[in-house]
Amino acid sequence: MITFDNVTKRYPGSHEALTNVSFSIEQGEMVYVTGHSGAGKSTLLKLMAAIERPTSGTVLINNQNVSKLKESTLPFIRRKFGLVFQDHKLLYDRNCYHNVALPLAINGITGAEAGKRIRAALDKVGLLSKEKAMPITLSGGEQQRLAIARAVVSRPSILIADEPTGNLDRNYAEDILQLFNAFQQVGVTVIIATHDALGNVSDHNKILHLNRAQLTKAEIIA
């Protein structure tokens, strides 16, 4: 589903953010990307989601080589992903409902069909009653769940979350991870970046551990 082959990413005027990274992720896997801050986790996620292109090496998403794709086709690749950003990136000028509506609008889905899907997504994260609330009035955990609702509303086959439990206390973090597990159960590939110790990582998870831009461990914990 996602294959990295000798991928290196260097930002202009900076050191290599990723060096010779190779791995592959199959459909329906639950993958943790771990490592210290600055180890290259966010870069790795951006390359996976076709937001960035590799400096060298190949990134294959559904057997399409991201480096070879035209700029104008990248948006359509990106729509296959549901993204949960480190800083949420919620839009504070509109209510929860309209925040979740944005990815659907981008996909050209509006009206009753959109309404159904938006409410289903909000329901899944337990925010159905806050449909009309403005994001600024939500708690940290609720904002995170709203961001997840927005990520899953267009039913992506891959869900990518960057530090989704970063600023949350333990209980909230558990809730969020439960949510991701639930998505994985129904066949969604889930990729989560975290700098946390892997205390709450359960069985059958793949871990990509980054250390100073290099992949040091890519194995399945049995």
Partner 1 sequence: MNVWLTQHALALKLVLRRFANNKLSTLLICLAIGVTLALPSIFYAVLDSANVLANNVKSKSQMSVFLATNHDENAIETVKTTLEDDANIKSFKFVSKEDALSQLQAADTDNGVLNSLENNPLPDAFFVEPSKLDAESIENLKNNLSKLDGVDEVVVDGAWIKRLNYLLALGKKTMLIIVSLLAFALVAVIGNTVRMQIVTQYAEVELSRLIGATKSFIRRPFLYAGALYGLIGGLFALLITVAVIYLFNQSLAPLVAEYQTNFSLNYPNLFTCAITCLLALAVGLISAYLAVSKSLFSSIH
List interacting residues with partner 1 (CB under 8 A): 49, 51-52, 72, 75-79, 81, 83, 85, 89, 91-93, 102-103, 105-108, 110-111
Q: Is residue 217 helix, strand or coil?
A: strand
30-34: strand order across its sheet: 81-84, 158-162, 189-194, 30-34, 206-211, 214-220
- Comparison of 81 and 180: residue with beta carbon closer to partner 1: 81
Q: Which of 32, 48, 39 is nearest to 17 (CA)?
A: 39
* Shortest distance in whole angstroms from residue 221 CB to partner 1: 31
Contact between 214 and 19 under an 8 Å Cβ cutoff? The reply is: yes
Strands (E), 2-114: 2-10, 16-25, 30-34, 56-61, 64-65, 81-84
- Comparison of 44 and 215: residue with beta carbon closer to partner 1: 44
- Comparison of 57 and 135: residue with beta carbon closer to partner 1: 135
- Comparison of 108 and 199: residue with beta carbon closer to partner 1: 108
* Shortest distance in whole angstroms from residue 33 CB to partner 1: 18
d(CA 18, CA 38): 10
- Comparison of 109 and 201: residue with beta carbon closer to partner 1: 109
- Longest CA pairwise span in the chain (Å): 49
* Shortest distance in whole angstroms from residue 54 CB to partner 1: 13
* Shortest distance in whole angstroms from residue 126 CB to partner 1: 22
* Shortest distance in whole angstroms from residue 107 CB to partner 1: 8
